[in-house]
Structures are given as C-alpha cells and as structure tokens.
C-alpha cells in the first residue's frame, strides 16, 4: 500500500488544524492503556473461551474542554486479532484538584487484521473513568467500559453485552 504525497499533506494539515486549537483552548492528554478482555457483568451469550485471560493494549488520547471530554482509545485486541477504536464523548468533572471523574458514550469501530474482513461499527461503547491527576501534567486512572452489540439503533443486542476494566496513564 502506497500513500500518495498529496493525501499525506492534507491529512497532516487536518491533524494540525484540529490539534493546535485544542492544545491552546483545552487540555490534551496522550498516553497508554491496557484493558482486561475477561468479561465483567456479561450477558449469557458472551464467548468466554475466546476472551478469558486475554488483554488489549494501545493508546489513549483525550481532549478536555471544561466539563466535556472527547476520548479516543485505540486497542490491539489479542483475542480477536483486530485493532479497535473506541470514540467517546464524556461529561467530566475535577474534584479536589486531583480527582477527575468522567462518563460517556460513543461508537466502537473494529479494524480486523484479516485481509478478508471488513471494518465494522457494530458496538456501542459506554465508558466510565476515574483518574488521579499528579502534578497537573500526568494522570493515572481506572476505567470501566461496557460494550453493547448494535448494528444500528434499532438492533441493540443486550444478550451479548459485556463489561471490562482497564487502566491508563496520560501526559497532559
């Protein structure tokens, strides 16, 4: 796969145009995340043999505007051989200047690594974060993520829903 120079330049300009204002007017955090794929609060139809004991690792990026935070979590799912992108719009609040609580919802996008599979948006992602803010530039936190299968708004499948826990460390 070759990348065209023009497409690369346009993509770079777009990223700079989005990130530069966010870094001036908002807090931008970038870091690492790890999630256990072992289901917690799972429905009965979850394939535990595939998920038990496996972990997902990746990157976490957040942009915080006062009480709104946009969260992008990209994880390599070892049990399912895919890269999953979880986009979440969250309401957030800072308490006692060292504790940040946030909760939100958004889509989950799966990029399968097998060449014959297609990109899919088949999940709804609900995420709850509790972060300790250290020295105003670093945060470590725990997350609970609840994944609900859904091919569209009218086809939510609660029988396959599952929760999982994770941790993240970000530099702001």
Please check the confidence at residue 72 and state whether its pLDDT lies above 90: yes
Alpha-carbon distance 87 to 107, whole Å? 6
Q: What is the pTM of this model?
A: 0.77
The domain limits of the chain are 27-171
| Contact between 98 and 107 (Cβ < 8 Å) | no
Structure-block tokens of residue 9: 């330049």
For 24, other C-beta atoms within 10 Å of its C-beta total 8
Q: For domain 27-171, give the fold.
A: Porin (2.40.160)
pLDDT band at 109 (very low <50, low <70, confident <90, very high): confident
pLDDT band at 65 (very low <50, low <70, confident <90, very high): confident
Pairing mode, strands 82-95 and 68-77: antiparallel
How does pLDDT run across 26-62, given as a tens digit for each residue?
Answer: 688 999 999 987 777 655 554 555 455 678 899 999 9
How does pLDDT run across 112-160, given as a tens digit for each residue?
Answer: 887 677 777 778 889 999 999 998 899 999 999 988 877 665 666 666 6
Task: Name the region of 16 (left: φ>0; alpha: ψ -120 to 50; beta: rest).
Answer: alpha
Place of tokens 């895919």: 82
């Amino acid at each position: 796969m070759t990348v065209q120079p023009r497409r690369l330049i346009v993509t770079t300009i777009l990223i700079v145009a989005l990130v530069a204002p966010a870094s001036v007017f908002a807090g931008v955090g970038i870091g690492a995340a790890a999630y256990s794929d072992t289901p917690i609060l799972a429905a009965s139809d979850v394939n535990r043999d595939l998920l038990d004991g496996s972990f997902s690792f990746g990157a976490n990026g957040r942009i915080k505007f006062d009480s709104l935070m946009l969260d992008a979590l990209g994880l390599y799912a070892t049990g399912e051989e895919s890269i999953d992108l979880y986009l979440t719009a969250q309401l957030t609040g800072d308490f006692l200047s060292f504790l940040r609580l946030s909760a939100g919802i958004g889509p989950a996008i799966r990029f399968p690594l097998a060449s014959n599979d297609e990109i899919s948006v088949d999940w709804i992602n609900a995420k709850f974060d509790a972060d300790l803010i250290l020295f105003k530039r670093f945060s470590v936190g725990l997350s609970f993520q609840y994944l609900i299968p859904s091919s569209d708004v009218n086809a939510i499948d609660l029988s396959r829903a599952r929760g999982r826990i994770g941790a993240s460390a970000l530099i702001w």
